[in-house]
Amino acid sequence: MAIQHKSQKRKRNRTWAILTVIVLFLVIGMGLAIHNLSDKAASYASREAELQSQIAAEEGRAFEYEEESKLRQTLRYIEMLAREKLGLVYPGEIIVKPTE
């Protein structure tokens, strides 16, 4: 009977050792997975901040284009363009140019 008792004890010890090793591998694996995921999360957060910055810049540019588009539709802008680019004047208007 003593022999059976020792063999049962060895089996239990072996079973506990195997379970302990399995649990240890699982804990290590989960730790590595958590570490990798936290690195990815940090990388994604950095990329998101970069993209948000780009979005803000593009929204600013869109606003400027919209304002410029509104300006180009005004008569004042058209008049300014006609005077500068085409050299047009109103009837009776005298243009004085400095001599060089």
* pLDDT at residue number 4: 61
- How many structural domains is the chain composed of? 1
* pLDDT at residue number 41: 95
* pLDDT at residue number 3: 55
Q: Answer whether residue 62 is part of any domain.
A: yes
Q: 90: number of CA atoms within 13 Å, CB side? A: 4
Q: Answer whether residue 96 is part of any domain.
A: no
Q: Are 88 and 82 within 8 A, CB to CB? A: yes
Beta strands in the chain (DSSP E): none
* pLDDT at residue number 32: 96
Contacts of 82 (CB under 8 A, 6+ apart): 88
Where do we find the tokens 């600013």? 60
Which DSSP state fits 73?
T
Q: Answer whether residue 64 is part of any domain.
A: yes
Q: Answer whether residue 52 is part of any domain.
A: yes
Read off the pTM: 0.50
Q: How far is CA 83 from the centre of its chain?
A: 46
Q: What is the mean pLDDT of each run of 10 residues along the chain (100 residues)?
A: 70 92 97 96 96 96 92 88 86 82
Q: Answer whether residue 99 is part of any domain.
A: no
Q: What is the domain range of residue 35?
A: 2-86
Q: Answer whether residue 41 is part of any domain.
A: yes
Q: Answer whether residue 11 is part of any domain.
A: yes
